[in-house]
Amino acid sequence: MSVWKFHSPFLDDVKQRGLGPALSFKVNETVERVTAGMDIEDIRSMLRGDPAPRPNPRVRPHSDGFWLHMRPTYYHNLVTGVYPSFRMGWLSTYFFVFEIITGLFLMIFYTPSPLVAYENMLNILSNVPFGRLMRDLHKLGAEMMVIVVVLHMLRTFITGSYKKPRQFTWLTGVVLLLVTLVLSFSGYLLPWDQLALWAVTIGASMAEAVQPQAVGDLLNLIIRGGPQFNEGGLLRWYLLHVLALPLVGIIFTGIHYYKVILHGHGLPPEVEPVGEDTAKRTPVDQRTYFMPDILTRELLLFSVVTVGMVFAATFFYHAPLEPHADPLVTPLHTTAPWYFLWIQGMLKIGDKFLWGVVMPGVMFGILFVLPYVEVGPSRRYGDRRVGLTFGALMVVILAVLSYMGTPRYGVPASLNVEIIAEIVPQTHPGPFRQAEWEGYRTANVSDTNPTGRVIYQAAQYDRAPTETLHHILAEMQAGVEHAQHQYEIGADDGLKDVRGLMVIENWQEGLKKVTWRVVWDPDGEGPQTAPTDDTLCPVGQIVPGEYCQTSYIDAEANYRQGP
Amino acid sequence: MIWRVLVGTVSLLIGMLTLGYVAITEQDRMASFSTSYEARRIEAGAAIYEAQCATCHGDRGQGGRGPKLDDVTLFDGTVTGAIGWTGTVHDFIYLTVAGGRPRPSEFYASLGNANRMPTFSNSFGGPLRDDEVRSVTAFVLNWGEAYKDANGQFPQATPTPNPNAAGTDITIELPAGDAARGETLVSTAGCVACHIGAAAGVTGPAWLTAESKDGQGVAAHIEERWQAADYAGAATSTDQYVFESIVNPNGFIVPPGEGATWQAPGPSIMPGTYATSLLKQDVADIIAYLKTVP
């Protein structure tokens, strides 16, 4: 008689049946536990395409398991095609998870401090294997997520799927839309480059416009973390980006998914009797079970989209990185991210508070209450002409407003500055920096010309000695001719007798200095400065009829490889 | 189903190939980014130089109110050697841009530039961020590229660190010491701040017999310590013991106990820079002086 008894059902089983059968039984049992209800034979039968046995073991993971309890057991045959969902909801979740994974990777190499944030970007790009890929994927994924979420909302609106009983699902969706937009926007600030600082400055300046002024000042202080954007502001935007918003997103995605289980996927509007929701009454012969059909389709979509993203980020898309943030240097044209251009467009219409805060607030407010106000029973397109027209009108209005948000609309331009900014923009490399360095030909160095200075006239781009110079001078001449044209048609921003000049000098070993000059006739009394005049950009003086800017270009700067 | 599996598998294969391509090219890409970013630093530095530095140092570094910068002597170690700077030329320029010259440099005064220079780093109230100071430094250093020969070396370079610097090898033969010069040196190199006077016996071991707790001065201590049974350093003579204490303060710390007149609170707080900032002759002179301390 033993003092204690050793319990091992597995060993007992081995004794009884032998090692082989006992082992395969144990493995099978483990698989069944992991899948919450399907053993090896069930899985093989499903993958072979056998009809489901009765009782169907393929529904057990939905009722017993955690992950699949968030997914319906079966879909109506009519909702498994591309129409009516276009897979936009699934893709929204996909990109949310995609952003969390790539974001975690980037967090490892990031410190939210203005002192080192930009250096962190350089480190990710120069010293972290797969660092650039991860950064590009994260940025590309963010842009895609905004597109997909907006399209998902549009689709839901068009098919009338926000109507009873799915009102609350729509409301959580609007919350998720806001989370997506603010997530994307808050990520803008983190690299602490010029793009970051000025895009977020535009956002904060809208909060400042809130009335009464005391509230606006307070909001502004909260958003900036101080009178100036600095370490305080960066830290709170970082925490918003990596903690608060993802948390809200996860919670509301859970609610959103739960509501889909509860109400089922809405059928295409034309197949249902008006005013009825038959999504939960799918006839047995109309069912497509999640396993295996939907599951394999989603796995397919997953691999194709992921590979597409990796491929795009490797070969085509690189996230921009502008110069270090500098509160003292305002780039020539600062714009909000493209999905907020419509707000920037509205700001150009009139009062900052009315158009920048109240109107966007009203628009999102309408989105929130839409399903509770628009309670017409029919989801059919033919019965919703007014609503659909209104929706289409809103899309057109947003597109027009977004155009108005770009620098092309309503920004008083100084064409002398614009001519040069087209060639050497402050916010991205532009044609001058991306061209072949050797093409910027200088003269031989001599005692009278120690820097090998050459003055090229934009008008004579046809006679440029190199392909590079031909290209750059032609770009400059295009801007010059536009300014001249504006003068001839009597526009305010036109310049009379305008000429463009490009002066190239050897400045250091491997470094060339280029002085851009735009000269024109400021008062209609003939040209001020002869084009061959050697006094270039006198420091600290403003000469009427002349605008100068200098650029430096290093032989090894290699702007074509991306940031 | 077969199509789904097929397309999914093919796309995963493409994905793996793409990642493999990234993995193979990643080292080159990172190196290429580093090179190009250094070049872009020079461009940024050139623009800052034009705005902030050119009025005094000349638009092409030819000098003016400030010293000439486009000059081989700044880059090949001649200037730093003459000043007594023992670090790199890069650090010298970086420090100068950041901190300026609170009083005219004697060296440049002898060349006719007896002017002061303002600070430029915003750590010291100047206008530039640290990355901008580094950019200007990269631009100024880039003038040196023109003076290098085919091997990337300066023809008459003064090597840094200085070959006459003391170094950390305590077994080398030191030149004959001069106790009188050593006495001056312990004041100018900062030794006396901790070893003589109020801080002696508190911050560092006391040198003077009158200030030492056990009634023995440093001359006696250095004789005894390296021969003591519990000595764990590398010295095999009195001279080497002092040499070690100067260039490698943590080489041996007297353990607490009967013989100790002073106990270091953990690792030594003596600066670890004397191996490069003192010359061999300096060390020899200080050793000669320490043997005579009353």
Q: A120-127: list long-range contacts, CB under 8 Å, 24+ apart.
A: A121/A191, A121/A192, A121/A193, A121/A321, A122/B37, A125/A321, A125/A563, A125/B30, A125/B33, A125/B37, A126/B30, A126/B33, A126/B34, A126/B37, A127/B30, A127/B34
Percent of chain A past pLDDT 70, that is, above it, reads 96
- Do the Cβ atoms of B7 and A119 come within 8 Å? no
Residue B83 in domain: yes
Instruction: Give the Cβ contact number of residue B254 at 10 Å.
Output: 17
Percent of chain A past pLDDT 90, that is, above it, reads 57
Residue A330 in domain: yes
**What is the maximal distance between C-alpha atoms in chain A?**
122
- Do the Cβ atoms of A508 and B130 come within 8 Å? no
Question: How far B104 CA sits from the closest chain A CA (Å)?
Answer: 27
Could you tell me the two tokens for B165? Answer: 């610097």
- Please check whether residues A221 and A155 belong to one and the same domain: yes
Residue A228 at interface with chain B, using a CB cutoff of 8 Å: no
In chain A, which residues have their Cβ closer than 8 Å to the Cβ of B40? Answer: 554, 557
Using alpha carbons, select from A175, A179, A237, A235 the residue that is nearest to residue A204.
Answer: A237
pLDDT band at A531 (very low <50, low <70, confident <90, very high): very low
- Please check whether residues B71 and B193 belong to one and the same domain: no
pLDDT band at A371 (very low <50, low <70, confident <90, very high): very high
- Please check whether residues A79 and A151 belong to one and the same domain: yes
In angstroms, the CA A480 to CA A496 distance is: 10
Residue A533 has pLDDT above 50, yes or no: yes
- Please check whether residues B17 and B123 belong to one and the same domain: yes
Which of B21, B43, B54 shows the shortest C-beta gap to A557?
Answer: B43
Residue A54 in domain: yes
Four-point Cα dihedral A426, A430, A434, A439, nearest 10: -100
- Please check whether residues A201 and A138 belong to one and the same domain: yes
* Strands ordered across the beta sheet of A511-519: A454-457, A499-508, A511-519, A546-554
- Please check whether residues A480 and A497 belong to one and the same domain: yes
How confident is the model over A285-294, as a mean pLDDT? 90
The residues pairing with A505 across neighbouring beta strands, listed in sequence order, are: A513
- Do the Cβ atoms of B18 and A311 come within 8 Å? yes
pLDDT band at A535 (very low <50, low <70, confident <90, very high): low
Instruction: Give the Cβ contact number of residue A330 at 10 Å.
Output: 13
pLDDT the model gives residue A423: 92
Residue B103 in domain: yes
Among A328-337, A347-356, B181-190, B283-292, the minimum mean pLDDT is found in A328-337
- Please check whether residues A500 and A469 belong to one and the same domain: yes
Using alpha carbons, select from A543, A473, A460, A529 the residue that is nearest to residue A497.
Answer: A529
List the Cα angle A412/A415/A418 in 5-degree steps: 95
Residue A281 in domain: no
Q: Does residue B224 contact residue B230 with C-beta atoms inside 8 Å?
A: no
Residue A61, preceding bond cis, omega within 30 degrees?
Answer: no
- Please check whether residues A553 and A419 belong to one and the same domain: yes
Residue A295 in domain: no
Residue A293 in domain: no
B261's CB contacts (< 8 A; 6+ apart) are B201, B205, B206, B212, B213, B214, B216, B221
How confident is the model over A110-124, as a mean pLDDT? 94
- Please check whether residues B87 and B196 belong to one and the same domain: no
Which of B36, B38, B145 shows the shortest C-beta gap to A509?
Answer: B145
* Helical (H) or strand (E) element with A386: helix A385-405
Residue type, A350: G
- Please check whether residues B7 and B132 belong to one and the same domain: yes
Last residue of a domain, one of A49, A70, A91: A70
How confident is the model over B157-177, as a mean pLDDT? 79
How confident is the model over A171-198, as a mean pLDDT? 93
Could you tell me the two tokens for A121? Answer: 């970007």
B40's CB contacts (< 8 A; 6+ apart) are A554, A557
pLDDT the model gives residue B76: 87
Residue B142 at interface with chain A, using a CB cutoff of 8 Å: yes
B51's CB contacts (< 8 A; 6+ apart) are none
Among B24, B26, B137, the residue to mutate for chain A (most A Cβ within 10 A): B26
Residue B264 in domain: yes
pLDDT the model gives residue B159: 64
Could you tell me the two tokens for B90? Answer: 């890069």
**Interface list for A 22-61 with B (CB within 8 A):** 47, 49
Could you tell me the two tokens for A48? Answer: 């072979």
Among B6, B9, B13, B18, the residue to mutate for chain A (most A Cβ within 10 A): B18
Which of B37, B47, B129 shows the shortest C-beta gap to A122?
Answer: B37
Residue A376 has pLDDT above 50, yes or no: yes
For residue A20, give its domain range. Answer: 9-70
- Do the Cβ atoms of A507 and B33 come within 8 Å? no
pLDDT in tens, B196-213: 888 887 788 888 888 887
Could you tell me the two tokens for A153? Answer: 């909302």
Residue B228 in domain: yes
The 3-state DSSP class for residue A332 equals coil
Last residue of a domain, one of A404, A436, A460: A404
How confident is the model over B120-145, as a mean pLDDT? 94
CATH code, domain with B258: 1.10.760
- Please check whether residues B17 and B124 belong to one and the same domain: yes
B257: left (phi over 0), alpha (psi -120 to 50) or beta: left
Among B42, B48, B121, the residue to mutate for chain A (most A Cβ within 10 A): B42
- Do the Cβ atoms of B139 and A508 come within 8 Å? yes
Q: Which residue has the higher pLDDT, B263 or B222?
A: B222
pLDDT in tens, B61-107: 999 899 999 999 999 888 887 887 777 899 999 999 999 998 888 88
Helix residue spans in A190-292 (DSSP H) = 194-208, 213-224, 231-239, 245-263
- Please check whether residues A223 and A108 belong to one and the same domain: yes
DSSP assignment letter at A249: H
DSSP assignment letter at A462: G
Residue A231 in domain: yes
In angstroms, the CA A368 to CA A389 distance is: 19
Residue B114 in domain: yes
> Could you write out the DSSP letters of every residue in A525-545?
SS-SS-TT----S-TT---TT
Residue A120 in domain: yes
CATH code, domain with B52: 1.10.760.10
- Please check whether residues A206 and A141 belong to one and the same domain: yes
pLDDT the model gives residue A2: 65
Last residue of a domain, one of B147, B167, B196: B147
- Please check whether residues B101 and B187 belong to one and the same domain: no
List the Cα angle B78/B127/B123 in 5-degree steps: 75
How confident is the model over B221-241, as a mean pLDDT? 87
How confident is the model over A87-98, as a mean pLDDT? 96
Question: How far B162 CA sits from the closest chain A CA (Å)?
Answer: 28
How confident is the model over A161-179, as a mean pLDDT? 95
- Please check whether residues B14 and B141 belong to one and the same domain: yes
Using alpha carbons, select from A193, A202, A206 the residue that is nearest to residue A234.
Answer: A193
Alpha-carbon dihedral sign for residues B283, B289, B290, B291: positive
Q: Does residue A162 contact residue A370 with C-beta atoms inside 8 Å?
A: yes
pLDDT band at B37 (very low <50, low <70, confident <90, very high): very high
Last residue of a domain, one of B147, B169, B191: B147
Which chain B residue's Cα is nearest to A118?
B131
Angle between helices A40-48 and A19-34 (to 10 degrees): 70
**Interface list for B 11-30 with A (CB within 8 A):** 11-12, 14-15, 18-19, 21-23, 26-27, 29-30
Total number of domains in chain B? 2
For residue B101, give its domain range. Answer: 2-147
pLDDT in tens, A294-308: 999 999 999 999 999
Which of B7, B23, B43 shows the shortest C-beta gap to A553?
Answer: B43
In angstroms, the CA B208 to CA B218 distance is: 7
Using alpha carbons, select from B86, B46, B87, B85 the residue that is nearest to residue B69.
Answer: B46
- Please check whether residues A454 and A386 belong to one and the same domain: no
Residue B204 in domain: yes
Question: How far B58 CA sits from the closest chain A CA (Å)?
Answer: 12
Could you tell me the two tokens for A513? Answer: 């200095």
Total number of domains in chain A? 3
Percent of chain B past pLDDT 70, that is, above it, reads 95
pLDDT the model gives residue A363: 94
- Please check whether residues A196 and A47 belong to one and the same domain: no
Which of B4, B23, B46 shows the shortest C-beta gap to A507?
Answer: B46
In angstroms, the CA A114 to CA B125 distance is: 18
Residue B226 in domain: yes
Residue A475 in domain: yes
Taking all residues of chain A, what is their mean pLDDT, rounded to a whole number? 90
DSSP assignment letter at B165: B
Among A16-25, A43-52, A127-136, A396-405, the minimum mean pLDDT is found in A43-52
DSSP assignment letter at A326: -
Last residue of a domain, one of A404, A434, A457: A404
B135: left (phi over 0), alpha (psi -120 to 50) or beta: alpha
- Please check whether residues A63 and A91 belong to one and the same domain: no
Q: Does residue A136 contact residue A319 with C-beta atoms inside 8 Å?
A: yes
Instruction: Give the Cβ contact number of residue B23 at 10 Å.
Output: 12
Question: How far B141 CA sits from the closest chain A CA (Å)?
Answer: 10
- Do the Cβ atoms of B47 and A550 come within 8 Å? yes
- Please check whether residues A95 and A64 belong to one and the same domain: no
**Interface list for A 389-448 with B (CB within 8 A):** none
Q: Tell how far CA B21 is from the center of its chain.
A: 42
Residue A510 at interface with chain B, using a CB cutoff of 8 Å: yes
User: How many residues are listed for chain B in this entry?
Assistant: 294
Using alpha carbons, select from A203, A191, A178 the residue that is nearest to residue A138.
Answer: A191
How confident is the model over A465-476, as a mean pLDDT? 93
